[in-house]
Amino acid sequence: MIELYLNFVKAQPILSSAVQVAILGTFGELLAIRIRTGKWYLFGPGPWRLMTKVAVWAFLGITFKYAFVGFFGFVDALILKGFWFEAAREGIVRAFSVSVFTNLLFGPVMMLFHRWTDNAIEAKPMHWPSLQNAWKTLLWFWIPAHTLTFSLPSHLQVGLAAVWAVALGVILGSFNRD
């Protein structure tokens, strides 16, 4: 089974990113609601809201793959131009550097887009204080989590990021019980 997964993520990096994040991102969101409210909630009557959320998560998975690859190149370019530490060429310093830039430059925009799509799907107004709280997770959760993520081979990074999304859903769901 693991061999099948590894072959899939290596051979189909974009498709596998979409599939992994669609499944795990949606599951994490549903699990967080379940933990918070004690009930399973599938985003309203009929399947269209759930399927739209799955599609948004899939799209985000694709953006994650492009962003992850791009921010490795970004850090390389900064080092080349002398704008970043030479030590960031390898190891944990490299993973940390990519994580910092990914989460500080890509993270807020991605979260804003995700929140906007969620609100549009559920016909709710934007709740800016909760978005600001979500942005704080970039510092205390996502930078450390993605430091580990970016220390892995590239074909495993989006999968771990999707697992982290489930973990964060559990953490936040536990803190925000109704």
- 35/25 Cα distance (integer angstroms): 15
pLDDT class of 77 with cuts at 50, 70, 90? very high
Q: What is the DSSP-derived secondary structure letter of residue 20?
A: H
- 165/145 Cα distance (integer angstroms): 10
**pLDDT for residue 178 is more than 60:** no
Residue 177 has a pLDDT of 64
pLDDT class of 60 with cuts at 50, 70, 90? very high
Say which residues have a Cβ less than 8 Å from residue 32's Cβ, sequence separation at least 6. Answer: 169, 170, 172, 173
> Which of 59-63, 153-157, 167-171 comes out lowest in average pLDDT?
167-171
Cα torsion through 63, 161, 68, 157, rounded to 10: -120
pTM score? 0.94
- Nearest Cα residue to 43 out of 142, 124, 107: 124
pLDDT class of 114 with cuts at 50, 70, 90? very high
Q: What angle do CA 47, 48, 52 make, to 5 degrees?
A: 120
- Look up residue 2 and give its two tokens: 């693991």
| Span 4-59, pLDDT tens digits | 999 999 999 999 999 999 999 999 999 988 998 999 988 877 799 999 999 999 99
**pLDDT for residue 129 is more than 60:** yes
Residue count (the chain): 178
